[in-house]
C-alpha cells in the first residue's frame, strides 16, 4: 500500500480497490482491469496521476437480464462515488 491522491492515507492501489469492489458486488467469473493511462499522457483528462484511464472486462451472472445502460450503472454504483470521482475515463466490456 502506498500514499496516494485519494485521501492521503495509506491506500490500496486503485486497480486492487476496483477489483475488490467489483468482486464483492458481482462475484464475476472473469475480471480484468487494465490501466490505459500511459496511452493518454499529456491528453485532456490526464491529471498526471497515472490512474486516469481504465478498461474493465467483467463477466458475471449478476448482469443477466440487464440492458447495457443498467450494466454500466451497476458497475459505476459498485465502484462508488469516491473511485468514480478519481477516474477520467472508464471503458467497460460487460457480459454474462
Position 47 scores a pLDDT of 66
Position 41 scores a pLDDT of 72
Radius of gyration over alpha carbons of the chain, in Å?
Answer: 14
pLDDT along the chain (96 residues), means of 10: 46 89 98 88 67 93 98 98 94 98
Task: Quote the pTM value.
Answer: 0.81
Buried b (16+ CB within 10 A) or exposed e, 60-85: bebbeeeeeeebeebbeebbeeebee
What is the 3 state secondary structure string of 26-94?
Answer: HCCCEEEEEECHHHHCCCCCCCCCCCCEEEEEEECHHHCCCCHHHHHHHHHHHHHHHHHHHCCEEEEEE
Strand 53-59 to strand 30-35: parallel, antiparallel, or no bridges (unpaired)? antiparallel
| Domains contained in the chain, CATH given | 12-95 (3.30.300.90)
Amino acid at each position: 500500500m502506498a500514499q496516494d491522491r485519494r485521501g492521503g492515507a495509506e491506500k490500496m492501489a486503485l486497480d486492487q480497490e476496483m477489483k475488490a469492489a467489483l468482486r464483492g458486488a458481482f462475484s464475476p467469473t472473469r475480471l480484468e482491469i487494465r490501466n490505459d493511462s500511459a496511452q493518454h499522457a499529456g491528453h485532456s483528462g490526464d491529471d498526471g496521476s497515472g490512474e486516469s484511464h481504465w478498461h474493465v472486462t467483467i463477466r458475471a451472472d449478476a448482469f443477466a437480464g440487464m440492458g447495457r445502460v443498467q450494466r454500466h450503472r451497476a458497475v459505476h454504483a459498485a465502484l462508488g462515488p469516491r473511485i468514480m470521482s478519481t477516474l477520467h475515463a472508464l471503458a467497460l466490456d460487460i457480459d454474462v
